[in-house]
Amino acid sequence: MGMYPSFSQVSIFSCPHRSIQLMRTKITAAITAIGAYVPEDRLTNADLEKMVDTNDEWIRSRTGVSERRILREPGKATSDLVVPAVQRLLEKRGIGPDDIDCLIVATVTPDMFFPSTANLACAKLGIRNAWSFDILAACSGFLYALTTGAALVESGRYRRVVVVGADKMSSIVDYSDRTTCILFGDGAGAVLLEPNIEGYGVLDSILKSDGSGAKHLHMKAGGSLRPPSIETVTNKEHYIYQEGQAVFKFAVTGMADVAYELMQRNGLEAEDIAWLVPHQANKRIIDATANRMGLSHDKVMLNIEHYGNTTAATIPLCLWDYRKQLNKGDNIVLAAFGGGFTWGATWVKWEY
Ligand code: UT7
């Protein structure tokens, strides 16, 4: 663990009185590298047409998805998505596993209940000098983890924090349920946070949750409320349960409102924002958010067509796909809505 002062301290000796003043500059957490990984195997709309009563036109017009990536290899889990994403990030930054102080994984599909997927991924990555833990906030998981990781860096106690969003959604999707199986895919994305004193990085977040929304989107069994049993398996209670229309209604206003609130709170106008990086659940929800923010659609990162909804991974996967179009100083707004309900928006000033 690296110690780092939370403020850069500059001593000024003012001559006549020889008094000492302390100028303090706030430390922010800058994103200094990205990594991502999606499995090779594709599940296309044409494939799904053979599995359930659906069609390509319906899926594309209602959701924007054409194909998703699926981790099919037996014995592979969410940590196996995390590992290549983080390896790529380390390589990009030119650092090794022992340089990491903390690793946080946002996921709803952990390898197992415990230990955490972050613990398991660190062991596979050879990260030995860090502490690690998971965060569960469904589709908003990456924003929750990013805000947590940023606070650790801002505190001055940690220099290099890796924040990962990763989900093997195929492990909890019922491929006989046409209302959910068309939506989700597998993937992982990771960012590295490091201290910055020039005002780059994570500048503000508004995060919200409302557990009364659970009834519309949840997994019925497997937890302490309904431990696994023959009955829960027979009743298919270990899969995603979603009331699509109800979730849509909350998501479309929730994500747009919180992104707008973030702009208002920070005096950001549409022309100040280079990119909106929205959670990729439904193209129609994304369009509504961009409209509320007054953003033209060429400022919206979009990759739902190729990966579907990868839950905690959508936002870092977008950053990875658009990395060559990001410029130092760009104001970007990340926004998400998901199970819980959880939702939020984060303002990042791009550092490289
Ligand atoms: O990321 C986590 C948060 N989740 C979300 O943000 C998801 C929010 N919800 C949604 O994105 C949308 O509600 C869905 C994409 C899930 C569904 O779209 P929708 O426009 O809300 O469709 P719907 O559920 O109202 O269904 C419309 C019709 C129904 O038929 P009837 O009752 O009108 O005859 C469905 O049975 O479409 C039917 N349908 C399908 N048809 C073909 C439902 N699924 C399919 C399908 N293929 N896969």
Average pLDDT, stretch 213-227? 98
Q: From 199, 218, 237, give the residue that closes a domain.
A: 199
Establish whether residue 282 lines the binding site of ligand 1, counting it when its CB lies within 6 angstroms of any ligand atom: yes
User: pLDDT at position 56, please?
Assistant: 98
Question: Is pLDDT above 80 for 77?
Answer: yes
221 and 244, same domain (yes or no) = yes
Q: Is residue 151 part of a domain?
A: yes
148 and 191, same domain (yes or no) = yes
Cα 173 to averaged position of ligand 1 atoms, centre (Å): 15
Backbone angles phi, psi at 167, to 5 degrees: -150, 135
Per the prediction, the chain carries an average pLDDT of 94
Cβ atoms of 311 and 117 closer than 8 Å: no
Percentage of residues of the chain with pLDDT beyond 70 = 93
* Ligand 1, atom 25, residue with closest C-alpha: 245
Q: Is residue 264 part of a domain?
A: yes
Quick check: is 139 catalytic?
yes
Banded pLDDT at 18 (limits 50, 70, 90)? very low
265 and 315, same domain (yes or no) = yes
Q: From 170, 199, 228, give the residue that closes a domain.
A: 199
169-203 pLDDT, tens digit each: 999 999 999 999 999 999 999 999 999 999 999 99
220 and 334, same domain (yes or no) = yes
Nearest to 262 by CA among 143, 116, 154: 143
| Pairing status of strand 331-338 against strand 275-278 | parallel
- 42 residue type, one letter: R
Establish whether residue 84 lines the binding site of ligand 1, counting it when its CB lies within 6 angstroms of any ligand atom: no
245 and 162, same domain (yes or no) = no
What is the CA angle 67-72-78, rounded to 5?
95
What is the C-alpha end-to-end distance of the chain, expressed in Å? 25
207 and 227, same domain (yes or no) = yes
159 and 280, same domain (yes or no) = no
289-313 pLDDT, tens digit each: 999 999 999 999 999 999 999 999 9
Q: From 199, 215, 240, give the residue that closes a domain.
A: 199
Nearest to 281 by CA among 70, 99, 68: 68
User: pLDDT at position 23, please?
Assistant: 58
Quick check: is 306 catalytic?
no
Establish whether residue 63 lines the binding site of ligand 1, counting it when its CB lies within 6 angstroms of any ligand atom: yes
Quick check: is 129 catalytic?
no
What does the alpha-carbon distance between residue 176 and residue 168 come to, in Å, rounded to a whole number? 18
Establish whether residue 137 lines the binding site of ligand 1, counting it when its CB lies within 6 angstroms of any ligand atom: no
Establish whether residue 179 lines the binding site of ligand 1, counting it when its CB lies within 6 angstroms of any ligand atom: yes
For CA atoms 105, 322, 125, 348, the dihedral sign is: negative
Report the CATH number at residue 155.
3.40.47.10
Number of domains in the chain: 2
Q: Is residue 12 part of a domain?
A: no
* Ligand 1, atom 38, residue with closest C-alpha: 179
Query: Of residues 45, 181, 279, 318, which has the active-site annotation?
Result: 279
User: pLDDT at position 298, please?
Assistant: 96
Neighbours of 344 (CB within 10 A): 28
CB under 8 Å to 318, separation ≥6 — which residues?
189, 277, 278, 280, 301, 302, 303
Cα 41 to averaged position of ligand 1 atoms, centre (Å): 25
Report the nearest atom of ligand 1 relative to the CA of 284: 11
Banded pLDDT at 3 (limits 50, 70, 90)? very low
Establish whether residue 178 lines the binding site of ligand 1, counting it when its CB lies within 6 angstroms of any ligand atom: yes
54 and 187, same domain (yes or no) = yes
What does the alpha-carbon distance between residue 218 and residue 138 come to, in Å, rounded to a whole number? 10
Q: Is residue 10 part of a domain?
A: no
Average pLDDT, stretch 48-76? 97
Q: Is residue 153 part of a domain?
A: yes
114 and 60, same domain (yes or no) = yes
Structural domain range at position 183: 29-199
Which single residue is written with the structure tokens 């990555």? 125
Banded pLDDT at 25 (limits 50, 70, 90)? confident
173 and 241, same domain (yes or no) = no
